[in-house]
Structure 1
Amino acid sequence: MNLEHLNALKQLLSTPRKIAIIPHKNPDGDAIGSTLALWHYAINKGHNASIVSPNDAPKFLKWMPGADKILNFEKQNTQAKSCIGAADVIFTLDFNHLGRVGQMSELLEESSATFVMVDHHQEPSDYAKIMYSDVTMSSTCEMVYHLIGLLGDVNQITKEMANCIYTGIMTDTGSFKFAATTSNTHRVVADLMDRGAEGTEIHHRIYDTNSPSRLHLLGCALKNMVILEEYHTAYITLSQEELDKYNYQKGDTEGFVNYGLTLDGINFAVIFIENKEEGILKISFRSVGDFSVNDFARKHFNGGGHTNAAGGKSEDSIEDTIKYFTSLLPQYQNQLQS
């Protein structure tokens, strides 16, 4: 974070503010962890702060300290709108384009509040007056830890905040295995544990509370996996019918795409998930090495993200989308071999 923006933020927060903290739609562990950690910090500093999420978070994140205080824009619409309308400061965490908040975007665009962006994705837009954008960071949660430090308050990180930050770092790094996990990430995690973060318990709550239907859905996904050895690529499809058959709940497909990368010789993994309600296919891309799924998603599937992890979407059928996707692979064959 550059000095000008840091000083502006310090000045902004020097007096009590009405703060709205916003994660992206379909929030994951990093989005919920970072917003909750910042919410705890703001409340402890005497601000009137609230979190407004575009929609619900997965069940496996609802144990997090303060999660029951998050306003769901879909279910608590009047209260959520009032909170955003009254805010004089709006923090947006773990996204960098207002389009990532779905139906909330128009409300945010109309707000006269001062926007503060904290995010680690590529190619940020310019809606925020104060920006802390760093694509080298493992997670937005790691950035929140550093932000609190830059504000001179690292010693005010409580056990509740430490648990929230640890959760986001752990989930966004694939339990510390992704390339963005640096030695500094581990130093941050060590400090969080010294401040009370319960690593083993957090891992259990996130990864060891599956329902039988989720494991059956995973079995279906793995059965659907197609391996294209020539292109070092594996992809999975899940239709709406299959989701319904296995009683899909929000968050159930989290991490499924990564199974493709556990195969020897696979450098590119994709999952296509049908969403009849929204009329789209939701797509997740993962890679290892230098192949940029961010560039691939932006160019071909109206998406983006990180070099090795990105998302996109298609309005075509599964069959037509797969046909288009596979037609693209020959032009990337050389990149996918490395």
Structure 2
Amino acid sequence: MLDLASLTDFLSRPRKVVITTHHKPDGDAMGSSLGLYNYLIQQGHHTTVITPTDYPDFLTWMPGNEEVVIFTQQQELSAKLVAEAEIIFCLDFNSLNRINELGELVRQTTAYKVMIDHHLEPEDFDDYRHWDINACAAAQLVYTFIVDQLNNRALINKDVATCLYTGIMTDSASFRLPNTTSDVHRIVADLIDAGANNSRIHELVYNSASENRLRFLGHCLANCLEILPEFNTAIISVNKQDLQRFDVNTGDTEGIVNYALSIASIRLAAFIVERTDRVKLSLRSKGEFPANEICKKYFAGGGHRNAAGGQSDESLEATVEKFKSILPEYKKLLIQ
């Protein structure tokens, strides 16, 4: 394992650096990755962000995005960059299976591996770890890594601040979740002082939906929403035909589960969608209800207590029924 002094010394000279994050990256994944990228290039490091898959169009405006390499589109280049890397930063994920086929390439390389993450139960693949499950976002941890550990607040420029603000804003649900502490607000204030245009970032992320995406959302709420009042639970289930009908693209389903959770009586919400290869689940909960426990125990997934995900190899209908069958086990927590 590397200690902080050794890592700081290693980064004191230009290095070949790869930054990667989880598949289907969200705002925190891309914000933390590009925030760190914009920090490292100021010091002369030869830095590349490699994502395992594509990501939503509403995140492609961030500084440095034009340099991102998407593994599924450029596998040979990705493999070459990983093989040549001297250090690899792994952001917003805690297990190499979260980066799909890219994970084995990262595992095999001799490069130092640095994990910056806030998820439970990290896998021991890293040489240095900046990890805190109480952090509201990986972007928050990138900030504290730069400012508190590397003592380089001066290099939080407008580009770094813009990306890190985006990560914190999206993973905290616009600063609404319980882990959005006073420390988080102080960090966000510092990022605004450094040049992050908060209103513009919000506009670019949240007010850039396509007409198809809005019509798809309406379809989900009007035709796919099921309420189970005896369990204070809501389910939105969507089949492949619906995805094709509304021409759903990467990112178009993001956040839909929160509409179900916004109902006053609901303590647990599930968005269950039939993808090409399997069924994916996204769970959200209120209070102390352990959404991550359900995903880990029954759906080969995990995440945070109030925001988790999983998957199923069964049909959409079978997956929905399985999810419903689990609810009696948690009835006391759901109706308290």
TM-score (norm 2): 0.97
Percent identity between the aligned chains?
Answer: 42
Structure 1, unaligned runs of 5 or more: none
1:94 corresponds in structure 2 to 92
- 1-side partners of 2:230 and 2:119: how far apart? 30
Superposed counterparts of 1:163-182, under 5 Å: 163-182=162-181
Structure 2 residue matching 1:273: 3-state secondary structure? strand
Given that 1:257 and 1:269 are in contact with CA atoms closer than 8 Å, whether structure 2 keeps it comes out as: yes
2:152 corresponds in structure 1 to 153
RMSD: 1.1
1:203 corresponds in structure 2 to 202
Superposed counterparts of 1:56-75, under 5 Å: 56-75=54-73
Structure 1 residue matching 2:151: 3-state secondary structure? coil
Structure 2, unaligned runs of 5 or more: none
Q: Is the counterpart of residue 121 in structure 1 residue 119 in structure 2?
A: yes
1:217 corresponds in structure 2 to 216
2:262 corresponds in structure 1 to 262
2:247 corresponds in structure 1 to 247
Q: CA deviation at 1:109?
A: 1.6
The one-letter code matched in structure 2 to 1:332 is Y
The one-letter code matched in structure 1 to 2:283 is F
Superposed counterparts of 1:4-153, under 5 Å: 5-149=3-147, 150-153=149-152
Q: CA deviation at 1:7?
A: 2.3
- 2-side partners of 1:295 and 1:273: how far apart? 20
- 1-side partners of 2:143 and 2:3: how far apart? 17
Structure 2 residue matching 1:286: 3-state secondary structure? strand
Q: CA deviation at 1:143?
A: 0.5
Q: Which moved more, 1:105-114 or 1:203-212?
A: 105-114
Q: CA deviation at 1:53?
A: 0.7
Give the length in aligned residue pairs: 334
Q: CA deviation at 1:16?
A: 1.7
- 1-side partners of 2:273 and 2:320: how far apart? 11
Q: CA deviation at 1:141?
A: 0.3
Q: CA deviation at 1:51?
A: 0.7
Given that 1:5 and 1:131 are in contact with CA atoms closer than 8 Å, whether structure 2 keeps it comes out as: no
Given that 1:8 and 1:130 are in contact with CA atoms closer than 8 Å, whether structure 2 keeps it comes out as: no
The one-letter code matched in structure 1 to 2:95 is H
Q: CA deviation at 1:258?
A: 0.5
Given that 1:163 and 1:192 are in contact with CA atoms closer than 8 Å, whether structure 2 keeps it comes out as: yes
Q: 1:306 aligns with which of 299, 304, 326?
A: 304
Q: CA deviation at 1:119?
A: 0.2
Q: 1:87-106 deviations in whole A, cap 9, x for unaligned?
A: 01010000000000012122
